[in-house]
Homo-oligomer: A and B are copies of this chain.
Amino acid sequence: MAIGIGIAGAGTVGGSLLRRLLEEHAVIEVKTGLDLEVRRVAVRDLSKSRPGIPADIITDDVMALVSDPEVALVVEVMGGLEPAGELVLASLRAGKPVITANKELIAARGPELFAAAADAGVPLLFEAAVGGGIPIIRPLTETLAGEQVDRVLGIVNGTTNYILTSMADDGVGYQEALAAAQRLGYAEPDPTADVSGADAAAKAAILAGLAFGIWVAPDRIHTEGITDITFADFKSAKQLGFVIRLLAVAERRPDGVSVRVHPVMLPVDHPLAAIRGATNAIYIKGSSVGELLFAGPGAGGEPTATAVLGDVIDAARKYLSGSQVAPAIKVEPGDVVDFGKVDTRWYLRLEVTDSPGVLSQIASAFADAGVSLGLVRQEGRGDSATLVLVTHTAPEAAQQAAVATLRALGVVETVASAIRVESEEA
């Protein structure tokens, strides 16, 4: 029996998916026993030439996927909040399984969409929404369904990881690395969503929701991007045995969960330190399973289409069986630990006047805030000097208080850098 597929969006991911469904139809049928037929493709611009796609199945009305009785499964790869949100909800309510790659939509409206899927008793699958081609949603919701996950760390934005890697390798500044990434297609003309950390925050919300069952909306996630990282930070990082990565961090704590996105100094021997260029990776620490690492291409049409296609096949199998059982994703609002109370460590680079008593004033600022120093190193001498500091673990609020005091000290010319250090202290 043919299973009709409706696809909203024929861009990078949609185009790859369409090509696979059309050109590899026979291969997929031999491999899976499923006759997947593309019945309708909704696009924004009807006038654009779309070779390979039969003209009679193209429409510019996304809601046609819901009303067309020949469309059994709806694939949403158009992105953005609307009309994607309306399409997904209407499809679920019409009893049609939905496959989406839309992290922005899931992050913004996850609980509502999961509930709609549960009410309708049909699957809502979104393997491609985090980590592109990396299988991570299914492992989290199925294989680890009985595990207490304590911590999820993710390099979930390939653009920023590419920029950070090339700054470190090529000794170039942020602007130059960004321009190169744009030339190579690793960064959008407007890179804001990536470099600000917003894209990573959407994925962090999804990962935390699935790992902990607690939903933290993206606007409650402390988010910092990479625009302030300088080449001098990479030099310091190297000397200290660190690499710099933009991490999505989700951790279970006694008083709730903490979810955040910010650059970190990561020890070179951490499994995520080896993740270079546009590659993504998710590290999971569970109380029983220990440490898991999943790595692969986090974006790109073909890898993402692989994840979408896997979901389509899964949904089609369930559809054919007459039972749409999928792990009900239960997420609830939960206690989010105030970031100020979360223990962090900091790397700081200060420009200071090179005079006696400077270090004692700085050390006092930390002591007064209740933060102790793990490392102090002076670089350069003369009228002014550079001090590199690494603190011990203390609550984020205390670290910030110490930095605020530093900024007010006459001997501190600038706090040139402040990057959190991600490492377990001995």
Chain A interface (Cβ < 8 Å from any Cβ of B): 16, 20, 24, 27-28, 31-33, 127, 133-135, 138-139, 142-148, 213, 271, 274, 281, 286, 288-297, 300, 302-303, 305-307, 309-314, 317-318, 320-323, 325, 327-328, 330
Min Cβ gap A99→B in Å is: 12
CA distance A421 to B291 in the complex (A): 29
CA distance A142 to B127 in the complex (A): 11
CA distance A146 to B306 in the complex (A): 7
CA distance A177 to B139 in the complex (A): 34
**Does A302 contact B314, Cβ atoms closer than 8 Å?**
no
A-B contact pairs, 29 of them (CB 8 A): A27-B148, A31-B145, A127-B143, A133-B288, A133-B290, A135-B139, A135-B142, A135-B292, A142-B310, A142-B314, A143-B311, A144-B310, A145-B314, A286-B306, A288-B302, A288-B305, A288-B306, A289-B296, A292-B294, A292-B295, A292-B296, A293-B294, A293-B295, A317-B325, A318-B323, A321-B325, A322-B323, A323-B323, A325-B325
With contact pairs A135-B143, A306-B147, A313-B145 given, residues A290 and B297 touching in the complex (Cβ less than 8 Å)? yes
**Does A288 contact B135, Cβ atoms closer than 8 Å?**
no
**Does A328 contact B297, Cβ atoms closer than 8 Å?**
no
Min Cβ gap A219→B in Å is: 26
CA distance A291 to B213 in the complex (A): 30
**Does B323 contact A288, Cβ atoms closer than 8 Å?**
no
Q: Beyond A32-B327, A147-B309, A271-B274: 13 further Cβ-contacts under 8 Å? A: A28-B146, A31-B145, A135-B144, A135-B292, A145-B310, A146-B306, A146-B312, A147-B310, A288-B306, A290-B297, A295-B295, A321-B323, A325-B325
Min Cβ gap A2→B in Å is: 16
**Does B310 contact A143, Cβ atoms closer than 8 Å?**
yes
What residues of chain B lie closer than 8 Å to A305, measured between beta carbons?
A: 288
